[in-house]
Amino acid sequence: MISTAVLSQKKRGMSPAKVCLLLSLPLLVLFAMSLNGQGGILTGLDALFAPAFENTNEVLLYYAWWPRLCVALLAGGGLALAGVLMQQVLRNPLASPTTLGVASGANLALMVATLMAPGLLIIGREWVALIGGGLAVGLVFAITWRRGLAPVVVVLAGLVVNLYLGALSTALLLFNHETLAGLLIWGAGSLAQNGWDGVASLWPHLAVSAIAAGLLLRPLGVLELDDASAKSLGISLKYLRFAGLGLAVFITGSVVSVVGIIGFIGLAAPNIVRMAGARRLSSRILWSTLLGAVLLATTDLLLQHFSGMVATLIPTGAVTGALGAPLLMWLIPRLKLQGDRPPRAAGVFMNRHPAPHRLAVGIMLALFAFSILGLLLGQGADGWYWISPAEWDVLEWRLPRVMAAAASGLMLAVAGTVLQRLSANPMASPEVLGISGGCAIALILGIYFLPTPSNIVLIGIGTLGAMATLLVLVALNRKSGFVPERLLLSGVAISALFDAVRSVLLAGGDPRGQQVIAWLAGSTYYVDVTSAVVVGSIAVGLALITLPFNRWLDILPLGAPTARSLGINLNRARLALLLMVALLTACATLVVGPLSFIGLLAPHMARLVGFSRARQHLLGAALIGMLLMVIADWVGRQIMFPYEIPAGLVASLIGGAYFMWGLRRL
């Protein structure tokens, strides 16, 4: 059946070739402008084929400008090819080359090598990055192998590994900011070249990958069928998915090792060509690769043209996200997604505890015990000690931190539960909507551009950022009726835009970057008694308001037709639940930073232990989120005393390890 979008595109005469040609025109204009500014097109061509090394301008063209253009074309094409393969294998338009943690693994490997074995960087930085990315994906495969590399489980495991490795990288950066500051530029995606080494390293890898993709065309085409039909043809889906994902990982690792993290091309290019009418896999691979090369090269030439107007260094990867996100937002209403079909059951978390209320009481007792532990047990100059009645003034500092940790865990857990049940998507979390990112970026801009802003001013700025993000989400999805898949893709686009802004600010070398990194890591250090009481009251109030929605949350995962037949107004229900998610996430982010990992982790842990119905799921996730954050805050204060690890990082490390263990045992 041909979608309405495709029909309308045909009426307009749209095709992937015309789209690529249209988007190539800005590239040609920028190409000519750039060479004209350096002596003309003929001079540029002479510098490429027969450079006069006594001419400084031609030397710069030969060793810097031309290699940078070639790397941009190769990297853009490679990332787009990897994106097509991942979206085909995982059957998910949200999949991209960074889905499986390749970029995070490469980044972490380079950080570890810089700190512990700098000699490895002399041998070859690209090999360190490639090994790191490969190990990250190996971890994803190890977690999901028993599930036959099922797409939904692979995406979920990849997201968890990505967040986990990102938390480790943030921890290293927090304690070694000056040593690792240079990697912030690489991590944001830099195409700067000082020779042809990057081109020489990248093109053989991509050539081999293109040949391998051609050989896999027919087998991967079988993945258009459902699992039962594919298996009936005698095809091993596990090994076919392993081959497809392995090739995508190799391409991504090769690109990341040369130019750093440029993740948005692999998401945008395949969706654009699909919108233009490319339905067959061979067509999508061809046109996505060409379009990815065009998009990245155009962005980089545009950046070079305007780079002299700003005083700070702006990485190309960040600009790619900033320019590509609005393009994807424009495409979202026109993209054919799953729509209102009932979602396929993941079959991952179906346990049901025989006595959920008794289980909830047990978790509540554990929460109480760890709260007492966090208040009374700590370290001092003489080691571990329990505070005595004469030392209860210490509670003035500890009590707000425990309360803030519990409140933030409660709000993020409830927000994640609502979002996952609303979207029937196990990879959904508060960060996917972009609410955390909107609030965080607003606060970062306030810190950078306002002279000594007060806490009240920052709270107001953060609230405005969160609400502005919500308004964008509503504007993009109101006409489509807030279809979950379309909504999540909107959140990905908005998050990419905010991540780009954050990367630009952090890569600029401003001393305030250390403060921003500490806040983004999720610390309760700056919370006082008044703030703790306020946030605790807000958390309890919002959680209680969520409870009457439990009927909607039980029915919505069954699909839109079922929900309508039971008398639910889908637009009203989805909008009300989205507003609740936005408020919960914004309030938590304002206190302890964007701790979105709890929003992903707590709902899954609640289902793993047996909370299934919506009311039980909300209660279990809330208690687990509070418990996890209270433990994380106490461990962060004690494990490296007198230094502190922010609660958000500890929660990600502890909870992520447990979650990966739980996925492995399924």
Structure tokens at 67: 């290699």
131 residue type, one letter: I
Report which of residues 394 and 151 the model is more confident about: 394
243 residue type, one letter: A
pLDDT of residue 184: 64
Computed from CA positions of residues 627, 628, 631, 633, in that sequence, does the dihedral angle turn out positive or negative? negative
DSSP 8-state secondary structure symbol assigned to residue 511: T
CB-CB contact of 78 with 255 (8 Å): yes
Please give the helix or strand (H or E) that residue 378 lies within, else none: strand 377-380
d(CA 85, CA 92): 11
User: b/e per residue, 31-64, with b = 16+ CB within 10 A?
Assistant: beebbeeeeeeebbebbbeebeeeeeebeebbbe
d(CA 483, CA 572): 12
d(CA 649, CA 654): 9
Please state the rounded mean pLDDT for residues 560-566.
77
CA-closest candidate to residue 274, choices 222, 340, 210, 335: 335
A 10 A CB-CB count for 338 gives 17
d(CA 365, CA 319): 49
Q: Is 220 strand, coil or helix?
A: helix
Most confident of 67-71, 108-112, 355-359: 67-71
pLDDT class of 467 with cuts at 50, 70, 90:
confident
pLDDT of residue 8: 44
Q: What does the angle CA 543 – CA 547 – CA 548 come to, to the nearest 5 degrees?
A: 135
For the cut 90, the answer to whether the pLDDT of residue 334 exceeds it is no
**Over pLDDT 90: what percentage of the chain?**
8
CA-closest candidate to residue 378, choices 403, 399, 409: 399
Residue labelled with tokens 């061979």: 282
pLDDT of residue 228: 66
pLDDT class of 369 with cuts at 50, 70, 90:
very high
Distances in Å between the Cα of 537 and the Cα atoms of 207, 340, 347 are 59, 37, 37
Phi and psi dihedrals of 511, rounded to 5?
-60, -25
For the cut 90, the answer to whether the pLDDT of residue 81 exceeds it is yes
pLDDT of residue 353: 66
Q: What does the angle CA 435 – CA 558 – CA 94 come to, to the nearest 5 degrees?
A: 45
d(CA 197, CA 443): 40
Residue 232: Cβ-neighbour burial (10 angstroms; 0-12, 13-18, 19+):
exposed
pLDDT of residue 21: 86
A 10 A CB-CB count for 118 gives 10
- How far, in whole angstroms, is CA 492 from its chain's centroid? 8
Most confident of 33-37, 148-152, 470-474, 480-484: 33-37
CB-CB contact of 245 with 100 (8 Å): yes
CB-CB contact of 346 with 291 (8 Å): no
Q: Which domains does the chain have, with CATH numbers?
A: 11-334 (1.10.3470.10), 356-664 (1.10.3470.10)
CB-facing half-sphere around the CA of 351: CA atoms within 13 A:
15
pLDDT of residue 347: 40
What is the phi-psi region of residue 101: left when phi exceeds 0, alpha when psi lies from -120 to 50, beta otherwise? left
pLDDT of residue 127: 77
Distances in Å between the Cα of 404 and the Cα atoms of 549, 607, 609, 641 are 25, 25, 25, 20
pLDDT class of 289 with cuts at 50, 70, 90:
very high
The DSSP annotation for 553-577 comes to: HHHGGG-HHHHHHTT--HHHHHHHH
A 10 A CB-CB count for 319 gives 23
Q: What does the angle CA 17 – CA 71 – CA 16 come to, to the nearest 5 degrees?
A: 10
Report which of residues 514 and 587 the model is more confident about: 587
CA-closest candidate to residue 361, choices 627, 613, 600: 627
14-47 tens-digit pLDDT: 688 888 888 889 888 888 888 887 777 888 888 8
**Cα radius of gyration rounded to whole Å, the chain:** 25
**Arithmetic mean of pLDDT over the chain:** 77
- How far, in whole angstroms, is CA 82 from its chain's centroid? 17
Distances in Å between the Cα of 302 and the Cα atoms of 103, 307, 315 are 24, 8, 12
Residue labelled with tokens 């700098």: 118
CA-closest candidate to residue 649, choices 631, 624, 630, 632: 632
Residue 605: Cβ-neighbour burial (10 angstroms; 0-12, 13-18, 19+):
buried
Structure tokens at 284: 């999508």
Distances in Å between the Cα of 660 and the Cα atoms of 97, 150, 219, 604 are 20, 15, 30, 11
609-661 tens-digit pLDDT: 888 788 888 888 999 999 988 998 888 888 877 777 788 778 777 777 776 77
Q: Is 338 strand, coil or helix?
A: coil
Please state the rounded mean pLDDT for residues 588-617.
79
Please state the rounded mean pLDDT for residues 78-89.
89
Contacts of 298 (CB under 8 A, 6+ apart): 23, 26, 27, 30
pLDDT of residue 318: 67
Structure tokens at 238: 């596990």
